[in-house]
Amino acid sequence: MDLLEDLETMKFESGIHEEDQSWLYLLGRSHGLMTKACAHATFFCKLLHNLRESLNEKRTSKCHLTGLREETQDDDTLKVGIIGGGHLGKQLAHTLLQFIPIPAENLRISTRRPETLDEFKKLGIQCFYQNASLVGWANVVFLCCLPSQLPNICVEIQTRLGKDCIVYSFVSAIPVSRLKLLLNHTNILRPQYQCAEDLAHVWEANEITAALQDPVILQATCPYSPAGGISLNIKWLEGMFYALLNFCTAKDMPHPQVLQHLSELFSSQHLKACREGEASPLKFQAQDFVSQIYAKNLSQRRPFPLFDLTTVQLKETPFSQYLSNSTTFQDCFTHLYCDSFGISLTKEQEEPEVSTGSPSQ
């Protein structure tokens, strides 16, 4: 038990002069941004993890039916690397471990001070200072470093990045177009957040893993929700989908199979959550992701092309219209997102009740 936990004089706010109290909202903003960032990154990894598991299960089933020898699946397990062992890197690691959950041996952290990460070493996570080695091993690499450190890190890792490796950047000061040049790489995701002037008092929890088990906070992190006063640019959602397509293309999977896997991935939880007779299965089509002309000329055995994720996040795509117009998808996505963190929405919970302020410029 922490005997100092409830002492007002030991709290951060107690040492701030009255005239400086107005700046305390920055504390909530910082925690809100970190909570959302970790939640969205974890959700993306969980989708990728579930997609890999689904492909493995179907391959195993096919081997049993045909009598073929099952191949090893070691290379198909999701491997995640984190560059940066500061507060964000640590919180992200805890969130990934709890909610995917990713095995400790499939998570590695590269930081200039690996000696400060004993809590993770005890869990079996490799912590070292070898950025190039990390990106050569991982399927997904999170950049949790300072903007001033990023150019040198990019020089270190760009020659070791495989074309299939997804770089996920939390370095908000460096735009995705600049990252593309620094890394000579196109498989990059970078979420963009905008804060309201008056944040709702929902971001006051301490630990992010605990906060994401609170239904109100979890709903405030949902990409489609304006609750909480921090909004996510929906282009991140487009980039995430095209990243999943690229993963399947790297496996030379015919595009009809890709569409079937994605449809099943996003429909299952929605159909389970909705009342009987109200839900309809979600079914993606090729023209949701590529132009109608390209889709028409795409043979059944051909995979999708490899997409430039930086371009996807900067320009309009066929999926842009789909995201804004399909209420069925928005409903499916919201249910799947919440279920990924162990919370099932009721009909009453689908409309967030947290108020937000006006968006900042």
pLDDT digit string, tens, across residues 53-96: 988 887 766 555 555 555 544 467 899 999 999 999 999 999 99
Q: What mean pLDDT is predicted for residues 7-29?
A: 61
Task: Between 285 and 324, name the one with better pLDDT.
Answer: 285
- The burial of 20, by beta-carbon neighbours within 10 Å (0-12 exposed, 13-18 middle, 19 or more buried), is given as exposed
Whether 3 maps to a domain, the answer reads: no
Whether 106 maps to a domain, the answer reads: yes
Same domain for 117 and 186? yes
pTM of the entire structure? 0.87
Same domain for 35 and 180? yes
What residues have CB less than 8 Å from 120, skipping those under 6 apart? 90, 93, 109, 127
- Number of domains into which the chain is organized: 2
Predicted local confidence at residue 74, as pLDDT = 47
Same domain for 249 and 260? yes
Same domain for 329 and 246? yes
Assess whether pLDDT exceeds 60 at residue 298.
Answer: yes
Q: What mean pLDDT is predicted for residues 199-206?
A: 72
pLDDT 10s digits, 203-222:
876 689 999 999 999 999 99
Whole-angstrom Cα distance, residue 82 to residue 131? 9
CB atoms inside a 10 Å sphere around CB 333: 21
Same domain for 39 and 141? yes
Same domain for 216 and 244? no
CB atoms inside a 10 Å sphere around CB 21: 10
- CA angle at residue 312 from 311 to 317, to 5 degrees? 120
Locate tokens 């239904």: which residue? 215
Q: What is the CATH number of the domain that holds 173?
A: 3.40.50.720
Element (H, E) at 240: helix 235-250
Same domain for 174 and 50? yes
What residues have CB less than 8 Å from 335, skipping those under 6 apart? 269, 270, 273, 274, 344, 345
Contact in structure between 193 and 221 (CB atoms under 8 Å): no
Same domain for 243 and 335? yes
Same domain for 199 and 321? no
Domain that holds residue 244: 237-272+279-341
